[in-house]
Amino acid sequence: MPFIIAGPCAAESKEQVNDLAALISSLNIKVFRAGIWKPRTRPNQFEGLGTTALSWLAEVQKTYGLEAIIEVANAKHVEEALEAGIARLWVGARTTVNPFSVQEIADALKGVDIPVLVKNPVNPDLSLWIGALERLNQAGITQLAACHRGFSGFSKIRFRNHPNWEIPLEFRRLHPEIPLFCDPSHIAGKRSLIPEVAQKALDLGYEGLMVEVHPLPEKALSDSAQQLSPNELIHLLEHLVFRNPSVDNLQVQEKLQQLRDEIDEIDRAFLELLAERMKVSRRIGSLKEENLISYYQYQRWNEILENRSFWAEMSGVDPEFIRKLFELIHLESINQQSEGL
């Protein structure tokens, strides 16, 4: 069962906070999110209710036995949150990019080992994300988790933010000890796309989800298009498929091992072929050198792209994937040919 955090993008009224807290606790969810200081990209938008809303969250913790989590972006936020007894904090994507702000938050937290969730920075920079976690850890925060919320990009895609799944997966490889959450709301940007993103995160082995929900999403003061209605949240939770990180069944383990052995064999043959290809490539390189022909021949590259895409289609492999693979192989070939120049 993944760890679920749910709640509105922002706390908007005492009634909204209460209604949602009642819903969340009835669904057996333990952590209630709500933004009270909202980082907005452009000015003159709803920026959260600030201190006023803090007491509502503190109340909800008592009434429903929930743990509230809010976003903090500076030392003052941290101090106010701690004073109000807020159980958990998160660092937002626009704060993770700034080591000064993260350090300020870490310093304000010294001596208080409260759980902190760190969203990925808005730019696709894994070191910055890890660096933020390290700053907090060095300040004595031991209950850390990372939250993948997608990355800004100029090109328009169907999601609000680029997921760049390879980044959280590399994060997982480097830091398997840190629980990984996904915020499908801020990746998707649209209600209808949230189930797909949430399921993908669970399929990849994320430990938790942080989801935005609002009693009347169309009326929400921020992130209206991506907040789920209470019924949509219930529907989502009922339909998510949970996976285990590993399997106890010995027969399944054995079968998995057999298939992995097969993959190992194929990969070894594949590598040997690739090495063979590079050898031929270097021979072509010598020929080009002796005859002073340029290493890059765009007609040949076009031909390779066309043939390989066609062969890929014939073999039932995604031509786009093969294109990317051959771009790498071709670049390496040219590097090998021109080596020593």
Scanning the structure block, which residue is given the tokens 């007609």? 299
Nearer to ligand PEP, 117 or 312 (CB): 117
CB of 10 to ligand PEP, least distance (A): 7
Residue 259 tokens read as 């298939």
Contact region with ligand PEP (CB under 6 A), list: 60-68, 86-94, 300-308, 315-323? 86-94
Q: Is residue 104 a contact point for Mn ion (CB under 5 A)?
A: no
Q: Distance between CA atoms of 279 and 157, rounded to whole angstroms?
A: 40
Q: Which of 9, 11, 17, 118 binds ligand PEP (CB under 6 A)?
A: 9
**Residue 113's closest CA among 77, 137, 92?**
137
Residue 119 binds to ligand PEP (criterion: CB under 6 A): yes
Residue 47 CB contacts under 8 Å (≥ 6 apart), including other chains = 37, 38, 40
Round to whole Å and give the CA distance between 41 and 45.
Answer: 9
By CB under 6 A, what part of segment 146-165 binds ligand PEP? 149
User: What type of residue is 217?
Assistant: P
Instruction: Encode burial over 71-86: b for 16+ CB neighbours within 10 A, e otherwise.
Output: bbbebebbebbeebeb
What DSSP element (H or E) covers 90? strand 88-91
Residue 39 or 140 with smaller CB distance to ligand PEP: 39
User: What are the distances in angstroms from CA 313 to CA 273, 299, 318?
Assistant: 21, 21, 7
Q: Which helix (H) or strand (E) holds 1?
A: none
Stretch binding ligand PEP (CB under 6 A), from 91-99, 166-174, 232-240, 279-287:
91-99
Can residue 168 be called a binding residue for ligand PEP (CB under 6 A)?
Answer: no
Based on the shown chain and the rule CB under 6 A, indicate whether residue 92 belongs to the binding site for ligand PEP.
yes
Cβ closest to ligand PEP, residue 2 vs residue 7: 7
Residue 159 or 326 with smaller CB distance to Mn ion: 159
Contacts with Mn ion by CB under 5 A lie at 9, 223
Contact residues for ligand PEP (CB under 6 A)? 9, 35, 39, 92-94, 119, 149, 183, 186
